[in-house]
Amino acid sequence: MSEPTTAPISAVQPLTAPSEEERMFQAAAREFAEKEVGPHVEEMDREGVFKHELIENFFAQGFMGIEVPETYGGSGGTFFMSMLAIEEFSRVDASAGVVVDVQNTLVNNAVMRWGTEQQKKTFLPKLTRDTVGAYALSEPNAGSDAFALEARAKEDGDHYVLNGRKLWITNAKEAGLYIVFATLNRELGYKGITAFLVERSAPGFSVGKKEDKLGIRASSTCELILEDCRVPKANVLGEAGKGYKVAIETLNEGRIGIGAQMVGVARGALEHAIHYAAERKQFGKPIAEFQAIQFQLARLATEVEAARLMTYNAARMKDSRVPFVKEAAMAKYFCSQVAERVASECVEVYGGYGFTKDYPAEKYLRDSKIGKIYEGTSFMQLQTIAKLIIGRS
């Protein structure tokens, strides 16, 4: 039999456990999430508003600039450390995990990678000190077909003038800086797309309605409105017409962050279910003593661990500067599948109580659903994986 000619489905990569420094950082993130975020989770979910004081504390504790070099006011950490923080925050509240994720994996990373030195000096200290960032790619008619953009950018002296709408923009309500994608010439297709650093104070820029969502309710998701919005040419991120590279390569990294979010959600749901099973008694003994429940929890724990290792591996690969696109897509796809399945079965462990808002199980299930949708649907991840394992464009 001849050897296969397609690319291998998986290559063995070193799965390095967190170092002592990373474990200490993870423990600090876990403690902060439990003590500072935990008491407000129910209220924030009910009201659909993220507490501003918490975001201020995120900045004060260095969670909003984990990977940013100390030269620009950041913590000088690694991408892997960002994943640890996102996981721990999401374990307590997925909305908190989203705030930290978008800031670190999308906005900060895009400015660090594509920004000019002047842009880095101008914006990174703000992003690590007090300015929330948002990533504005999606539009009403540009979702999975991300480059079907209708937002326009037109040159006007030393400025560009932007017109259009952006939809489903995470962190939009709290943000002070937005990475906005618009096209210079739609006839050029993806080659006309350009990324702009747009400050909230820019003339012609406004934030529209906040969406009323199923899950991650405290995380703001809003429309952005561009009406003759004037942006200095100095605020072009990367090169004019090369915004598609900024978008694609940043989202590749962001998908690992979604994996970390979903691992955190799955962990949180499972830990609550295990605790409940140890306390809930039926037929004279805790339900955790019934083999059916034991096997159910054991299977879910195995899936969570597998998802966690996939995410950690993809993050290590990114830090090691080796190709990681396939592993990132796999992590996002698998972790979102696991999170929804785990959260759903944990509702069943609670029985009727799991279907009520008096217990945390139903919130984890609501929060898990978004993992299959944003930053590339599950189908888009499967398409990416298939292309890379088969070797076809």
Give per-residue pLDDT as tens, 299-345.
999 999 999 999 999 999 999 999 999 999 999 999 999 999 999 99
- Straight-line distance from the first to the last Cα atom of the chain, in angstroms, rounded to the nearest whole number: 27
Which residues have a Cβ under 8 Å from the Cβ of 188 and sit 6 or more positions away?
Answer: 241
- Cα gap 126→107, rounded to integer Å: 12
DSSP bridge pairs for 225: 165, 206
Beta carbons within 10 angstroms of residue 155's beta carbon: 11
What tens digit of pLDDT does each residue of 83-126 get?
999 999 999 999 999 999 999 999 999 999 999 999 999 999 99
pLDDT at 392 over 70: no
pLDDT at residue number 18: 82
Summarize the confidence of residues 12-41 as an average pLDDT: 87
pLDDT at residue number 276: 98
- Cα gap 307→285, rounded to integer Å: 32
Summarize the confidence of residues 372-386 as an average pLDDT: 96
Burial of 188 (0-12, 13-18, 19+ CB in 10 A): exposed
Domains of the chain and CATH, by start: 20-131 (1.10.540.10), 135-241 (2.40.110.10), 245-390 (1.20.140.10)
CA angle 362, 364, 370 (to 5 degrees): 115
pLDDT at residue number 146: 77
Cα 43 to Cα 37, 89, 237, 368, distances in angstroms: 11, 16, 38, 19
Beta carbons within 10 angstroms of residue 89's beta carbon: 27
Q: Is 227 a catalytic residue?
A: no
Catalytic residue among 67, 345, 362, 375: 375
**What length does the chain have?**
393
- Cα gap 348→213, rounded to integer Å: 23
pLDDT at residue number 8: 43
pLDDT at 30 over 50: yes
Q: Average pLDDT, whole number, for the chain?
A: 94
Burial of 21 (0-12, 13-18, 19+ CB in 10 A): exposed
